[in-house]
Amino acid sequence: MYLKAIEINDLTVEYPEVKALDKVSFSINQGDFLGIIGPNGAGKSTLFSCMLGILTKYKGTIRFFGEDIRKSRNYLKLIGYVPQKPVFENNFPATVKEIVRMQLTNNSDRQLIDKVLQQVWMHELGNRRIGDLSIGQQQRVFIAKALVHNPKILILDEPVTGVDIQSSEIFYSILRDLNEKQNITIIWSSHDMDAVHKLANKVACLNRTLFFHGISAEFFENEDLVKQYSEASMQQHMHSHEIH
Amino acid sequence: MTLEILSYGFMQRAIISGIAIAILCSVVGLFMVLRRYSLFGDAIAHSSFGGIAVGMLVGIYPLWTAYAVSLVSALIITRIRYRLKISGDASVAVLLSSGIAIGLVLISISGGFTIDIFSFLFGSILLVSTNDTILILVLTGIILVVILLLYRQLLYSTFNEEQAKVSGIPVEKINYLIVFLAGVVVVTSIQLVGILLISALFVIPNITAIMYGKGFKQTALLSIGFAVFSVVVGILASYVLDITPSGTIVLVSLAIFGISIGIKSLGKLPITKSLKH
């Protein structure tokens, strides 16, 4: 059994005016709960775009369970993805169950859909139109959609942006269960350092380059490291604003 | 009276063809409306005008040249849109005006407007031949099978292109496919309502259905219901009242839309946000 779920080596992405990622290297073990933190413009979404095969113009390598993702897109079957705020027409006529069913390649299995909706506490709203739900409820539906094909890795890009505190807590509790009870590897980007501290066993601090990668406690319990990272982030943040 | 009308062969062909076209426009139109391509049907129809003019000029059955020109221009404009990142409404404007311009020039070369041209502009469902009816039924069958086979891919890429891509769906190919299907449906439907009113059949039953339907399948079935009702009532009423079928069909569908808005504003429908956008 290959234990390394993901290996990233010297990942570099250059846009015409800026280097979005510069020689980023780290690996993730199966069962890890990795929190990726970084300010706006740190390259978190670019990193995910590369991992998900949306962005293909990059240098370096990305391997999922040992396989280079440039060679085959089969690895996508192993991934569940929850975007920051899915863009869709608010009046899109699809029920919660229809949204979840989109992820299934073979014919829909009603029990499977009911099961994942139950996991995210949304089974009672299965026949509601997606646009009629709150943002927090919608994000839980998108977790259910990401889980229905039984992925080994769940990637979440700042999933609680715009979600109220109570819904965020429910969301975090669902993520914890998925990681601890089902051994799903979770990669989650967030601005919320406290939440990352509480949930993730590993942390990666990204700011175009990788500032730190390792055990979460080692980072958060080292005040100097947190301070250095915060200052570097602030400088980067101000620099980004100057560019824009 | 109604039963007597239905015994006429031309009326039977008109209603059978009309129902098939209504189903096609509803199903393909729903994907187009939700992708914000509502006017794309209109643009394809206008480009078919150029195709019809080509057919009349060179002596080929105009509908065949309309299929060829419309499909080629729809695919080219989609390609250009991807390459140059032109917005949807701008590409629609290019397609729409170029089709009409080419058509006008070719028609003036071939001797000006004739009755045939007017039947393509405003529809002539009561003149549909048995061969036309068979062609419409065969195309309806093929397009519905394609949609059923690729239902998940079409729905997913309509809902959210990025997520569909991440799930391994070839989104760009699916986008070309839906534009191609829309092209076939539009040209096939010209006989029913004509070039000038085609987008009404694509859009009105669907935006009415979106007000009521919770899920996609339910919305599609409601849209088919509204479209079929509009077509059948429109054809029969136009015959009885001796008025144009195409305009009557569109007015019936507009009446259903208007009644739905009225019911909604009276608070008898679950509040939908559809019309606010």
Task: Record the tokens describing residue A97, joined without a space.
Answer: 């169950």
User: Tell me, what amino acid is at B73?
Assistant: S
pLDDT band at B203 (very low <50, low <70, confident <90, very high): very high
- List the domain range (segments joined by +) for residue A177: 4-243
Q: What was the pLDDT predicted at B270?
A: 55
Burial call A106-137: b when 16+ CB within 10 Å, e when fewer: eeeeeebbeebbebbebbebbebbbbbbeebb
pLDDT given at position B231: 94
Give the residues of chain A that fall short of pLDDT 50.
243-244
Chain A residues inside the 8 Å CB shell of B273: 90-91, 131
Q: What angle do CA B97, B99, B105 make, to 5 degrees?
A: 100
Distance CA A172, CA A180 (A): 12
* CATH code of A213's domain: 3.40.50.300
Interface contact A85, partner B, CB < 8 A: no
Tally of domains in chain A? 1
Is 60 exceeded by the pLDDT of residue B42? yes
| CA A156 – CA B30 distance, rounded (Å) | 31
Residues in chain A closer than 8 A to B218 (CB atoms): 93
Q: Which residues of A touch B170 (CB under 8 A)?
A: none
Cα–Cα nearest to B66, from B91, B79, B47, B40: B47
Find the residue in A nearest to B33 (Cα).
A92
Question: Cβ atoms within 10 A of the Cβ of B173, count?
Answer: 11
Which pLDDT value is given to residue A234? 63
User: Does B2-276 carry CATH code 1.10.3720.10?
Assistant: no
Backbone φ, ψ for residue B127 (5° rounding) = -100, 10
Which residues on A lie below 8 Å from B216 (Cβ)? 93-95, 98
CA gap B264, B270 in Å, rounded: 8
- The average confidence (pLDDT) of chain B is 86
Band of the pLDDT at B276, cuts 50, 70, 90?
very low
Domain ranges of chain B: 2-276
Q: Is B149 on the interface with A (CB under 8 A)?
A: no
Q: Which of B166, B213, B216 faces A81 most closely, judged by CB atoms?
A: B166
Q: Quick check: B202 and B190 in contact, CB under 8 A?
A: no
Instruction: For residues B170-191, give the mean pLDDT.
Output: 90
Structure confidence at residue A209 (pLDDT): 87
In this structure, are residues A184 and A154 in contact, taking their beta carbons and an 8 Å threshold?
Answer: yes
Angle between helix B171-193 and helix B245-265 axes, rounded to 10 deg: 120
pLDDT of residue A244: 43
CA distances from A89 to B35, B90, B276 (A): 9, 21, 12
The Cα B129–Cα A151 span in angstroms is 54
A105–B152 CB contact, under 8 Å: yes
Indicate the pairing of strand A153-157 with strand A185-190. parallel
Q: Determine whether the interchain pair B215/A131 forms a contact, defined as Cβ–Cβ distance below 8 Å.
A: no
- Collect all residues of chain A within an 8 Å Cβ-Cβ radius of residue B160: 86-88
Q: Is the pLDDT of residue B70 over 80?
A: yes
A128/B272 touch (CB, cutoff 8 Å), yes or no: no
Contact B207, B157 (CB under 8 A): no
Question: Nearest-CA distance from B220 to chain A in Å?
Answer: 9
End-to-end CA distance of chain B: 44
Comparing CB atoms, the residue among B159, B162, B165 nearest residue A92 is: B159
Nearest to A102 among B34, B159, B272 (CB): B159
Q: What is the mean pLDDT of residues B40-46?
A: 83
CA closest to B156 among chain A residues: A102
Residue of B nearest to A74 (CA): B168
With cut-offs at 50, 70 and 90, classify the pLDDT of residue B277: very low
With an 8 Å Cβ cutoff, are A129 and B214 in contact?
Answer: yes
CB-based contact A76 B277, cutoff 8 Å: no
Please report residues of A whose CB lies closer than 8 A to that of B152: 101-102, 104-105
Across the interface, do A93 and B156 touch by the CB < 8 Å criterion?
Answer: no
Choice between A189 and B87, residue whose per-residue pLDDT is larger: A189
The reported pLDDT for the residue numbered B2 is 62
Distance, in angstroms, between B243 CA and closest chain A CA? Answer: 36
**Spatial contact of A63 and A69, defined as CB atoms under 8 Å apart:** yes
- pLDDT, position B275: 43
> What is the mean predicted confidence (pLDDT) over B100-107?
82
Average pLDDT over residues B195-208: 88
Mean pLDDT in residue range B177-183: 92
Kindly state the percentage of chain B with pLDDT values over 90: 43
Min Cα–Cα distance to chain A from B184, Å? 25
Please tell me the distance from the alpha carbon of residue A84 to that of residue A160, in angstroms, as a whole number.
7
Question: Is the pLDDT at B49 greater than 90, yes or no?
Answer: no
- CB of A94 less than 8 A from some CB of B: yes
Q: How far apart are the first and last CA of chain A?
A: 47
Whether the predicted pLDDT of B15 surpasses 60: yes
Query: By mean pLDDT, which of A150-154, B117-121, B137-141 is the weakest?
Result: B117-121
SS (H, E, C) chain B: CHHHHHCCHHHHHHHHHHHHHHHHHHHHHHHHHHCCCCCHHHHHHHHHHHHHHHHHHHCCCHHHHHHHHHHHHHHHHHHHHHHHCCCHHHHHHHHHHHHHHHHHHHHHHCCCCCHHHHHHHHCCHHHCCHHHHHHHHHHHHHHHHHHHHCHHHHHHHHHCHHHHHHCCCCHHHHHHHHHHHHHHHHHHHHHHHCHHHHHHHHHHHHHHHHHHCCCHHHHHHHHHHHHHHHHHHHHHHHHHHCCCHHHHHHHHHHHHHHHHHHHHHCCCCCCCCHHHC
Supply the pLDDT for residue A73: 83
Note the pLDDT of residue A147: 87
Q: What is the pLDDT of residue A60?
A: 94
Sheet containing strand A202-207, strands side by side: A79-82, A153-157, A185-190, A33-37, A202-207, A209-215
Q: Could you tell me which residues come within 8 angstroms of residue B63 by beta carbon, excluding any fewer than 6 positions away? A: B52, B55, B187, B190, B191
Alpha carbon distances (Å) from A80 to A35, A45, B178: 16, 16, 27
Give residue B126's pLDDT. Answer: 82
B264 Cβ under 8 Å from any chain A Cβ = no
Question: Hunting for tokens 């069958």 — which residue is that?
Answer: B141
> pLDDT by residue (tens digit) across B226-272?
999 999 999 999 999 999 888 999 999 999 999 999 988 877 655 44
Least CB–CB distance from A95: residue in B160, B214, B272:
B214
d(CA B226, CA A28) in angstroms, rounded, equals 54
The DSSP 8-state label assigned to residue A89 in this structure reads -
**Residues B24-40: what's their mean pLDDT?**
90
